[in-house]
Amino acid sequence: MGGGSMAKIERFEDIQAWQKARELVKEVYAVSNSGLFAKDFSLRDQIRRAAVSIMLNIAEGFARKTSREFCQFLVIAHGSAAEVQAALYVALDQSYIIKEQFERLYKITDETSKMIMGFSSYLNKLKSC
C-alpha cells in the first residue's frame, strides 16, 4: 500500500468529506426539527435535501467506475453545500435559528466544502478528472 491516507480508502464511509457531511446532516435535522423552522415545510425540506445530497453524491460518486465520474458527483456535492449555506441565511433572516446556530452550521458546511474540493484536487493531480 502507498503512504498517503487516500490509498487506504476502500469504502465511501472512509472519506473524510463524507464523514463531515454526515455530521452536517445530523445538525441540520436537529435545528430544523423544532420551533418555527419545523413549521416552514418548504425551507426545512429544502435544506435537509441539500445536506443529504452531499452525503449521497459523495457515496454514489465513489461507487462509479471512473474517477472522472467521481469528480462530477463531487461538483454536485459541492453545489449542495453552497445550497445549504444559502438556506442557512434564509433561516437566520426569518429568525428560525440564532446567530450561534447559523455560525456553527455554516462552519461545518464550509469544512465539508473544503474537504470535497481537497478530494477533487487530489483526483485532479492523478489526472483523473
Candidates 15, 18, 7, 27; CA nearest to 84 is 27
Summarize pLDDT for 24-38 with one digit per residue, the tens: 999 999 999 999 999
Give yes or no for residue 115 having a pLDDT over 80.
yes
Neighbours of 65 (CB within 10 A): 7
Summarize pLDDT for 37-87 with one digit per residue, the tens: 999 999 999 999 999 999 999 999 999 878 889 999 999 999 999 999 999
Query: Roughly what angle, to the nearest 10 degrees, separates helices 41-63 and 99-125?
Result: 20
Cell numbers standing for residue 5: 491516507
What structural domains and CATH numbers belong to the chain?
14-125 (1.20.1440.60)
Q: Return the SS3 of 100.
A: helix
Alpha helices in 5-98 (DSSP H): 16-31, 35-39, 41-63, 67-93
